[in-house]
Chains A and B, each alone.
Chain A
Amino acid sequence: MEEVDVEPSTTVIPGAGLHQKHLGFEWGPGDLLVYETNYKLQGPRSAGSLFVHIVRKDEDICSPILRKLFNESHLIFVGLQKIKEDVPSKNKKSQFVSISKNYRSVIRACMEELQQNAVSTQDGSLASQYGDQVSILLAIELIWNLCEVLFIDAAPAGSLLLHLLDWVRLHKSDVDTRAREVLQSDSPALHQSYWDVVISLVLQGRTDEARQVLSKRASLRAESSSVFKRMDGLLQTMPIFNPSGTQTLTEFDVKWRHWHEECDRCLQDNTFASNRHLETICKILVGDEDTLLEQKELLSTWYHFLVTRLLFTHPTIKPPDLHYYAQSSMNMFLGPRASPEPLDIILLSAFEFDLHQVIKDCSIALNNWWFVAHLTDLLDHCKLLQSHNLHFGSNLREFLVLEYASGLFSHHSLWQLAVDYFDHCPEFGRVYLELQIERVPLDTERKAIKVLRICEDRQMSEQVRSICKIMAKRALRNNRLGSALSWSIRAKDAAFATLISERFLQDYSNKGSFTDLDLLDNLGPAMLLSDRLTFLGKYREFHRLYGENRFSDAAKLLLSLMTAKIAPRNLWMTLLTDALPLLEQKEVIFSVDQTYELMSCLEELNSGTKPDSNQTDQDDDIESTKTELLRLALARNLAMAIVKEGTIET
């Protein structure tokens, strides 16, 4: 057995397992059933509590706001699968980046709504629940954004830092709010957070905005304006790499070193000694680590520290060198005693370009497969995952997507989304779908029709037959014979159609007339589905013809039913009895040949039946009377027919 990555956490189930009762459990598709057994370690056995507990790991699936996430991302997922293989890779990369951005915007939209709800709700526990979900989504978006920058966009040295700067700026929005607060106040330069804002802007590399804020101060006092001008000059001349420009990386590197040396010179000359804030800023520009560490509160996270550090010491960082700086930044920022959070470890793995570790850690940390499934799928499309075969045959992407979709299937409503996910798992998707689709509860016909459409589109004939049979059986139980028949027609289930016909015929022999005439009169080509059904239809037609007084047609039909052996044996007596009134008519309806055939049928019937010991004498009497009557009628008819046919019309 594999080693366990983390210690499993204990979940307490209230009300179960008390008094040293043993718990039994059973796995379900998305949850666990737990119950108390009769077994006890010590003491006499006694009955356990009557409850069965359902333990569900994923509570996100029940959140109405997160449902939007599932639905919108489903649309994006399906769109992603449709991207054709033959498009050149450069175009594909931009497509993948835009898809990644789509996913992220969906996450952000969800987050905003959760945030609004958390603020506006009255219920305290609900507010904290929303708050938790917001923080999880924040973390997810952070990780996704980093993966997009490092793996999907895969920026080379130079642009890499710019993307990382964007990433940090996006996830530290309080700088903007504080800056706005300061600028909108009466005297911005005297605001208590003024210098914090300036330093935060510099830490994020937003030199233009920093200059703008600094100018407020510079205009105040004339005597120190030269110092401010110097700082302004430094900030203005800071080189920023332009990926679409003509400047190469080496040229930029040279320029940057010059600028760096100039900043260093300012520091050595004590140019900013008069103003300690400006001195701090200059130290930051030089990339002094201790100064940067002093700004822990403004940086607030080790990855911000990492990016700032790189900005001011090594802006031409190459992707493979990233991990060294990442590790050291984390250690420096967090200090020797602090232990990193799971999020920190995941980000570190990302910086180390260890995709599998990122996915693995995310899978453990989150209670829902949504994030890992979609991210892995996207990365797989970018061809970034090696075909990493797991023990049970499928690859990582398929495994995660299958897990996610199976989780969706356990939801009473979201199961429809899962179908598309299964479709795009080439190896096991179909099997999973076949097993799961049969277990969707079918309350209404409309739902059954939708499920059937899913099965029919994928040629899952077994499932179609089984579902139609369930619906037909239910209809039969409720005496809806027409519905039952339409279900068996859909499944092309001849056996069930036979069953339904038997039921009709049973009703007929009990009541003496047919029920559901609208169905029987309008069977159409469906009649051919089963022999018994054909008989039923034709028999009903016979009754109709008789009712319309079209006796010769009725007679022909009746005879054909018997001779073509469509009629079941046990009904021959009934059919012959039906023939009786036709035989008794004044005019001759059955011809000589037809009469002979009827007689042979009667004899066949009598010879076939064996004396039934259970039959009472009364039944025997009735049977023999019937036979007598029939024989008499047939004989008379034969006589009349011979005479009629023998007569020459003049």
Chain B
Amino acid sequence: MDPVAKYISQKISKTRWRPISPALLQQPEVFATGSWDNENNKVSIWSVEDHGASTMDGEFDEEPQLLCDSQHEGDVMDLQFLDQDRLVSASSSGAVTIFKLQPDCQALSLAHVWERAHRYSCDNAPCTAVVCRSPELVSVGEDGRVILYKADQTEVVRVIENADSSTIHAVTFLRTTEVLTVNSIGQLKMWDFRQQSDSPAQILSLTGDRVPLHCVDKHPNQQHIVATGGQDGMLCIWDVRQGNTPFSLIEAHSAEMWEVHFHPSNPNHLFTCSEDGSLLHWETTSGSDMSTLLQRGWNSRVVSHSGVPLAGENDSVVSAWLAGDSSKNRLEATHMLPSQTLSVNSLDVLEQCLVCGTDGEAVYVHRKVPV
């Protein structure tokens, strides 16, 4: 089944599903998008509902409808839902903003702004990523700072100055007090907020070329397994307890990988999107789950969804870890978008629904992802 596309007249930098309350077992219906590169950028809330009755062509049933939006100063560099009603955005002006969503999604208002959280001495520094674990927020930026906030406090809780001499591109929570950041010289750094010192608890990096890393995501169940994606489109799976080499290196894309996500409830599935215009869905085909697979290593193969030939389809896979019966463990990838588009900047997956946004100003929503 092909995803539904909607053109929304703004280049989309981030798309996120609104979290559903765990009590109700329903599919997510509301998502937020952030725009970039516009003179007036916006954060918008959309709804995708099963209307039941079909219109002229059955395809237009599930086209996302705009519920509300709000002006956003600067590009939306990152967007995260803090909880059902609050949305946090990271801006290219260096500000971190909390938006409040009215209960019936009729309006989006500004709840709190930390202006110039990220800055240089005489200039603005873009805030590149923000991550939430209610009520705490952590933001990172091009100025190399790591900042910890509490959602209800006006003042910043803690700033790690000069955490990094290069730009920090992404951050993720490992434990309640630990975060992992990735930067543009290819390092993963672990920070423990319980420690007083401003130096990282651990630094991991690939030997060899220092390729900038752009995205990171933690395995939902196992806190030591982390996936990263970088400028060369390589997907790396790391075990942060062990040493300096990643478990697995997979040639996923031919250009920068912008986002990598483990599926939150079924971690055998992994999704990546890239500047080369493709969105890949990775799944293990053997019976074992991903963590045991990591211990044994795997071969992977890229399978095209629609039969359209792609660059690198015939390339053999780079696997840094090959042990034992690895031929039994396979990782297969399928393309989720029907054709090559401009860069896919962001994706989010929840239950069976996938939403992604592209530089071609289109949002794609897929409601029946096979997970």
Contact = CB atoms under 8 A, between A and B. Distances in A.
B210 to A, nearest CB: 5
Instruction: Classify chain B's interface size.
Output: 35 or more
Interface of B is mostly: loop
A64 B9 contact: yes
Most B Cβ at <10 Å: residue of A480, A523, A526: A480
A480 B167 contact: yes
Interface stretch (A244-252, A335-343, A514-522): A514-522
B47 interface: no
Given A449-B256, A522-B205, A482 B164 contact: yes
A445 B126 contact: yes
B210 A449 contact: no
Interface string B332-371: 0000000101110000000000000001111000000000
A519 B205 CA distance: 12
Nearest to A474: B123
A522 B9 contact: no
A446 interface: yes
Tell me if A's interface is mostly helix, strand, loop or mixed.
helix
Contacts of A388: none
Contacts of B144: 480, 482-483
B304 to A, nearest CB: 16
Contact of A75 (B11, B143, B164, B341): B341
A483 B164 CA distance: 9
A483 B210 contact: no
B9 A480 contact: no
Given A72-B7, A444-B75, A478-B120, A519 B165 contact: yes
Greatest chain B CB density within 10 A among A443, A444, A457, A516 is at: A444
Contacts of B339: 79
A519 B75 CA distance: 28
A149 B83 CA distance: 56
Contact of A416 (B122, B208, B255, B359): B359
A555 to B, nearest CB: 27
Contacts, number: 129
Contact of B165 (A417, A457, A482): A482
A524 B126 contact: no
A478 B185 contact: no
B192 interface: no
Interface string A484-498: 011001000000000
B187 interface: yes
B360 A65 contact: no
Instruction: Say which size band chain A's interface belongs to.
Output: 35 or more
Nearest to B38: A413
B49 interface: no
Contacts of A446: 36, 75, 77, 126, 128
Nearest to A524: B210
Given A444-B126, A483-B142, A519-B166, A71 B362 contact: yes
B360 A480 contact: no
Contacts of B210: 486, 489, 522-524, 526
20 contacts: A65-B9, A68-B361, A412-B38, A416-B342, A416-B359, A445-B126, A445-B142, A445-B167, A446-B36, A449-B231, A482-B144, A486-B167, A486-B184, A486-B210, A518-B187, A518-B200, A519-B165, A523-B210, A524-B207, A526-B209
The 4 closest A-B pairs by CB, nearest first: A482-B165, A482-B166, A516-B165, A64-B9
Given A478-B121, A523-B210, A524-B207, 8 more contacts: A67-B7, A75-B341, A412-B37, A444-B128, A447-B36, A481-B165, A518-B164, A525-B208
Interface of A: 64-65, 67-68, 71-72, 74-75, 79, 412-413, 416-417, 443-447, 449-450, 453, 457, 478-483, 485-486, 489, 515-516, 518-519, 522-526
